[in-house]
Amino acid sequence: MKSRHSLIRMLCIAALATASFVARSEVSGSTLERISARGSIFLGYDETSVPFSFAVSGSDEPMGMGVDICHRVVKAIEEKLGKKLLVQPVPLSSNTPTMMVKTGMADIGCGAHTNTVGRAQQVAFSTTFFVSEVRAMVPVESAGKSLKDMDGKRVVTTVGEPADRLIKQAALSRGVSIRTLLGRNPAQSMSMLVAGNADAYVTEYASLLASRAESAKPEKYAILDESYSVEPYALILPKDDAQFKQLVDDVVLGLMKSGEMERLYDTWFMKPIPPGNRNLNFPISPLNKAAYANPNDRPVN
């Protein structure tokens, strides 16, 4: 089943790459015009970003908080165009999600993507829908309580995530020497911590919660209070298309004003979720309450 899923994934990417090339070779038009012309929308999703955007083994249908928001966007696009659209999920490369939107392989990136100044030079971002922090998780038996206790330790992060850069900067500024390791995805990064091949796992808080919840013994791991960065998550959008960004922002703002965004939050953070039917048990944070009360699309460095 896994090999079949991988084959379908590769064929999908190849087909969409061809479609993207053809679309870009035609007369230039807005994102809505391109979507209308093809009668479909390419929704980019991350395969392992629980609980924002992920796929359960054996299924090609993505799910998560970010994916739910994207489906609301699709409804708004259908209403504006006056036609039903075929929704085509596109798995995003873990280290080049912005490039896939920039080149047209995806119309929207629906995962846990941080709005940064660097990325904003390539693509646009929606209004922030979630704010997280980058933290470290260690075995409970570890004596470490902060970065200063990690001197000489092995710290694992995940390929394509800003955590690797952030923890290196934090260690350098505090005079701490760490050995950094890279996992291919959150599952491998967590497995390195579980196996004892890493002393700490650093990534954004929600991902740490998900990895801990899915582990065989969640009680064996503690997430440290120390924060290395605040990460505003937003949908990735094509750059320089004000009309499309406005439509997406209107959807996100509407979800916030109606209270639906907090209900989505509750669904993915306060109730059992796939793949292991575990509850992350993470009540809405002050950071997210502030983001919903004062919406913005400001990037971070």
Q: Name the segment(s) of the chain with CATH classification 3.40.190.10.
A: 2-130+232-293, 133-230
- At the topology level, CATH places domain 133-230 in D-Maltodextrin-Binding Protein; domain 2 (3.40.190)
User: What superfamily would CATH give domain 2-130+232-293?
Assistant: Periplasmic binding protein-like II (3.40.190.10)
Cα–Cα distance between 97 and 106 in angstroms, integer? 9
pLDDT tens digits, one per residue of 235-262: 999 999 999 999 999 999 999 999 999 9
Mean model confidence pLDDT for the chain: 90
Cβ contacts of 259 within 8 Å, gap of 6 or more: none
pLDDT at 59: 76
Contact 137, 147 (CB under 8 A): no
Q: HSE, CB side, 13 Å, CA atoms: give it for residue 188.
A: 8
* E strands, 129-270, in order: 130-139, 154-158, 179-183, 200-204, 221-223, 229-237
**pLDDT > 50? residue 21:** no
Q: What is the pLDDT of residue 278?
A: 92
Kindly report the three-state secondary structure assignment for every residue of 158-183: ECCCCHHHHHHHHHHHCCCCCEEEEE
